[in-house]
Amino acid sequence: MRERTNRPSKSLLTGEAVSADLDRELDVIEGIKRGLADAVAGRVISHDDAMAEIDAMIEAAEAKRPEEWPS
C-alpha cells in the first residue's frame, strides 16, 4: 500500500499550471484586441514618438539611480 502524503497530486498541479497558462494567454489576447481597437479608432502614435517617450523614462530612471549601482 502506498503511503499517503499531504502533497497535491501531479494531475492537480498540472491542471493548475494549464489553467494559469490559459489565463495569461487570454490576457494577452484581450490586450491585442484593445490595441487593435485603439488602432481602428486612431488612438496611435508614431514609432519615433513612442521611442522618445521610452528614452525619456529611461533617462529619468537612470537620473534617480544611486551612483553606487552598476550600470
- Rounded CA-CA distance 44/6 in Å is 52
Number of H helices, E strands in the chain: 2, 0
- What pLDDT, on a 0 to 100 scale, did the predictor assign at position 5? 73
- Rounded CA-CA distance 39/43 in Å is 6
pLDDT band at 71 (very low <50, low <70, confident <90, very high): low
Q: What does DSSP assign to residue 41?
A: T
pLDDT digit string (tens) for 16-56? 999 999 999 999 999 999 999 999 999 999 999 999 999 99
Most confident among 6-10, 29-33, 61-65 (mean pLDDT): 29-33
Which residue from 38, 32, 35 is spatially nearest to 24, judged by alpha carbons? 32
Residue 45 CB contacts under 8 Å (≥ 6 apart), including other chains: 53
Flag whether pLDDT at 2 surpasses 70.
no
